[in-house]
Structure 1
Amino acid sequence: GEQPRVGFSTYPARRMRGFGGASKRRMSRDMAEHPDYMARLARQRSGAARINDAPQAVAEVAYTDLGEATTECELFQRATPGQGQGFAEPFMTAASPGVIATIMLDAYYGSHERYIRALAREMRKEYELIVARGFVLQLDCPDLAMERVRFFQDEPLDRFLDAVALHIDAINEAVAAIPRDRVRLHLCWGNYDGPHTHDVALEPLLPILYRARVGALSLPLASPRHQHELKAFRRHPLPDGVLFLPGVIDSTTNVVEHPEVVADRITAAVETVGDRTRVLASVDCGFGTFAGSQLVEESIVWTKLRALRDGADLATKRLWG
């Protein structure tokens, strides 16, 4: 959750024309099976930013004023002057066409494909601005996994995979003018501490994800529900030239990972990829993806980030000597 944004996926409603009213987003399958968990989550999110009832598309979407996005870039530039404060390569996130389409639902186009392609056409303006300002663009794409249990929960797996392919195609349209090595793709199964018992497996997704015109792939692999997914890369090797950003810190729990655990996860990722220079240790997801609904207390966030740093140092010693 970037500071100027109310939510990582719903902020475009403030910046673009064509949104209004309220979406009626479906509950995920795992949450529906655990109403007691849902009740606790509702209490935690009382007064938080709109998630399940975010605005919907009620007219042709149009991104006609990049002023707010420009101000956000300038704020980040002031925070990282000359990139000389220890930041090797600052990146800025942006919502993907697919995550916008599946959270801020369509009440105008009457076709999921028409809606998502319209979003790709308009969001490319923000994407190109971010890169022009000197940042790597991270596309946040939980739709490529999480929406299997929400938007597409009644569809067979092959229909969902077709939708993933459409969403990747929309991304490729939107970043066509951006060098591949200036874009990274973040996929996740939902940044919440719920059961996740119906999450789609990573393996059938990987061949489709590899079609994306991106230079890096970010995945939440510290989650106990998905730590095993690293094995899928042995059967579907990472394409040449693509960086791998495995999550080695869980963003949904207040338990602080031991640096040795972090180092083990990093070295396992390197062994799987086969190239120590293509692995960048990361956090599973954001620590504040929607205003008012954070799961980890601030002081613990910083402690977890220190564990990430310390674990990366240990892994570096193991891998480089």
Structure 2
Amino acid sequence: MKQSTDRILTTHTGSLPRPQSLSQLLVRREKRAAFDAEALDREIAAGVAAAVRGQIDAGLDVINDGEAPRVGFSTYIIERMTGFGGEQRRKPALDMQRFPGYAEHMARQIGVADDLARVWDTAEAQGAVYYEDSLAGVTAELDAFETCLAEHPAPAETFITAASPGVVTTTMLRAENNPSYATDRDYVLAVAEQMKKEYDAIIARGHLLQLDAPDLAMERVIMFGDAPLGDFLDRVALHVEAINLALADIPPEKVRLHVCWGNWQGPHQDDVPVAELLPILYQAKVGALSIPLGNPRHEHETVAFKHNPLPEHMLLLPGVIDVTTNYLEHPEVVANRICAAVEAVGNRERIIAGTDCGFGTFASYEFVAPDVAWAKLGALAEGAAIASKRLWSN
């Protein structure tokens, strides 16, 4: 994993705006409605091409495929693994419970359920989970990405995201009568063993692996919203154990870990402080930690990395762009946030500037207008250039 040796490098968290026509087809496929398979293939190819071109035009250094082929950053795995079926409904986040007016506002903003990807009403694990032997899904995604990369100058690095064992198991919950797993621990570790197939495939193709693990912070206000903090932290430790199991034989410097509190535009008043998480997160066998520090609820927590120093082998990918609002960050604001992260870590080379989360974590759930999202990535690159001048001026 490259470091910012002579300037601050830039990246993002994973998902980027999809064309509406692509989102509609992905949702239809997920819901097993009739769809034109050839049209979907064309839309995916066009979506990946637009994502790659957009990142390069914005000036980003470390890029991916924008997750264009996926209906959701976590739920895509249902199409690659057996054992899932039926439907279950997850608990609402504390934001929705404490602010019912906000919940109604969000429901109006999101729109008609039939047009949306499955987020709160996903399938459940009803039997033994098993990742496809052919690796067809991840192979097709990698092929499409590499085809587009060949048409552009090589970026500094490339990455591919993958769902962490923890986010899979907290999104697609274990059915109570699942005969294969008596406990959630059994289920989590089984998913880790299977997801390793996808992780290994990504690394084998020469890309960095980014594990998307919002469960490591977000589930404090969902699954563990009414539980003691200690119960939640115990679950975080289990999920980190599962990550390490799945990363066996993969060098830490090939892996970055994204942790967040969810990317909805809400109060977030019950979010767990990052200081509570860092001692456990630092046990993950990864080379970089991506975490949101660019939004009004968590920007102040940058200093936590001064009080809880990163392990020497880790980089920090601070989110310096808020992905839930259409405010366009001024590049000077971005530079200020980057410099604050450098001060907290104490080493400019261990900082790569990023975004708080994805812009399109689920098809049809984009809350930032696509043209604004691309402008935000441009502001990220501009802000990094300003920060670089400050940090390398003497």
Instruction: Settle same-fold status: TM greater than 0.5.
Output: yes
Name 1:69's counterpart in structure 2. 138
* Partner-residue secondary structure (3-state), 1:283: coil
The letter of the residue matching 2:131 is Y
C-alpha offsets along residues 210-264 of structure 1, whole Å, 9 cap, x if unaligned? 0000000000110100011112111110110211000000011000000000000
Count of matched residue pairs: 320
Hey, what does 1:206 align to over in structure 2?
278
Look up the SS of the partner of 1:137 in the other structure.
strand
Q: Give CA-to-partner distance per residue, 1:68-116, whole Å, 9 cap, x none.
A: 110001111112229x625211111000000011111101224110110
Instruction: Work out whether 1:149 is the aligned partner of 2:221.
Output: yes
Q: Normalising by structure 1, report the TM-score.
A: 0.98
Q: Is 1:9–2:74 an aligned residue pair? A: yes
Give the TM-score, by structure 2 length. Answer: 0.80
* DSSP-derived class of the 1:27 partner: coil
What CA distance in whole angstroms lies between the structure 1 residues aligned with 2:79 and 2:252? 28
Q: Is the 8 A contact 2:304 2:344 kept in 1?
A: no
- Tell me which residue corresponds to 1:80: 149
Matching residue of 2:88: 23
Q: Distance in 1 between matches of 2:276 and 2:100?
A: 30
1:52 aligns with one of 114, 117, 120? 120
Q: Percent identity?
A: 55
Structure 1 residue 173 and structure 2 residue 241: aligned? Answer: no
Structure 2: distance between partners of 1:234 and 1:272: 5
In 2, the alpha carbon distance for the partners of 1:127 and 1:23 equals 27
> 2 CA distance for matches of 1:87 and 1:182?
16
Structure 1, unpaired ranges of 5+: none
Counterpart contact for 1:31–1:195, Cα < 8 Å: no
8 Å CA contact 1:44, 1:293 repeated in 2: no
Partners of 2:249 and 2:187 in 1: CA distance: 21
| Secondary structure in 2 matching 1:164 | helix
Which residue of structure 2 aligns with residue 33 of structure 1? 98
Offset, 1:67: 0.2
Alignment-derived partner of residue 55 in structure 2:
none
Q: Does 1:104 align with 2:172?
A: yes
Is the Cα contact below 8 Å between 1:141 and 1:186 reproduced in 2? yes
Write the letter of the residue equivalent to 1:24.
Answer: R
Instruction: Tell me the distance in 1 between the aligned counterparts of 2:313 and 2:193.
Output: 27
1:284 aligns to what?
356
Correspondence list, 1:111-260, <5 A: 111-260=183-332
Q: Greater relative contact order: 1 or 2 (C-alpha under 8 angstroms, separation 6 or more)? A: 2
Name the SS of the counterpart of 2:325 in structure 1. Answer: coil
Once the two structures are superposed, what CA deviation does each residue of 1:36-71 show, in whole Å capped at 9, x if it has no partner? Answer: 221222233322101000111011000023101100
Q: Which runs of 4+ in 1 moved over 3 A?
A: none
Gaps of 5+ in 2: 1-14, 16-66
Superposition deviation, residue 20 in structure 1: 0.6
Quote the Cα distance in structure 2 between the aligned partners of 1:257 and 1:208: 32
